[in-house]
Amino acid sequence: MLSPENYHSMMIEKRDNGVAIVTLNRPKKLNAVDSIMHTELTRFSTDFANDDSLRALVITGAGRAFCAGGDFSTDDQVTESTDGKKLWRESRDIVDNMLSCEKPIIAAVNGYALGLGATVALLADVAVVAPSTQFADTHVNMGIGAGDGGQVIWPFLIGVNRAKYYLMSGDKIGGKEAVEMGLASFIVPENDQLLPRAIEIASNLAAGAPLAVAASKLAVNAYLRSISATVFPLAARAQEETMASTDHQEAIAAFQEKRAPHFTGK
């Protein structure tokens, strides 16, 4: 069951019409993912799926951002310093559990959706954006490969070569362009309209026939899970190797010192 008391980095609101609102809640850090949020991201979709009182879920971020990716500003980083087996198991679970959920998930993507934040937003069944929304898989900017699901979902949404460019460059994509290229589903004119529009979509889906709604996404997500089964182990292994690189350590130092990194390929 999706219960507020079981979450520390997320706020949980459950409405009478079967809609849940999950809000990533580290606004001072732009909802960057620390070890606690990383663990909670593995189970919110499963808890939602197993909650008989719920039919649709909206996920969003508190404050100015949806999620700015991994938190590299403190010692509590989701990096190789974390228990390696736990990290890769959780990364895989975040992806596979969202893809296994048969109920609709809608992302209200406010501000930055970077790195893992972009992955979570794009794994949702529907992504609602505003012109100020910014998507990017920024792992490469931290000297590491995109190994937490970006290589699974980006090519599926926007095509292989275009996805490779954005995964290799870390370039940002605004809300309007995201809708035009297929990363997002709907755009609203202003940021304060994001959550109401996402809730409207969730409420509409929650009012539908639950078995039919589930059946309508089941095979598509099964296809994505088959892609994940092939792609994720390779991407995660490569990311683990790059996390041990000098370039990654240089990127962390540069981030904390607010300067441009100097990469050496080591």
Partners of residue 24 on adjacent β-strands: 10, 61
Quick check: is 68 in a domain?
Answer: yes
Residue 223, both tokens? 């296809």
Quick check: is 200 in a domain?
Answer: no
| Total domains present in the chain | 1
| Tens digit of each residue's pLDDT (9 = 90 or more) over 136-181 | 999 999 999 987 799 999 999 999 999 999 999 999 999 999 999 9
Residue 70 has pLDDT above 90, yes or no: no
Domain range enclosing 128? 4-191+206-210
CB atoms within 10 A of CB 240: 17
Q: Are 98 and 124 in contact (CB under 8 A)?
A: yes
**pLDDT (mean) for 200-229:** 97
Q: Which segment of 22-26, 40-44, 88-92 scores lowest on mean pLDDT?
A: 88-92
The rounded distance, in Å, linking the Cα atoms of 191 and 197 is 10
Residue 126 has pLDDT above 70, yes or no: yes
- Taking the whole predicted model, whether its pTM rises above 0.85 is answered as yes
Quick check: is 38 in a domain?
Answer: yes
We report the CATH number of the domain holding residue 95 as 3.90.226.10
Quick check: is 104 in a domain?
Answer: yes
If you write DSSP's letter for every residue of 187-222 in order, what string do you get?
E-SSGGGHHHHHHHHHHHHHTS-HHHHHHHHHHHHH
Quick check: is 86 in a domain?
Answer: yes
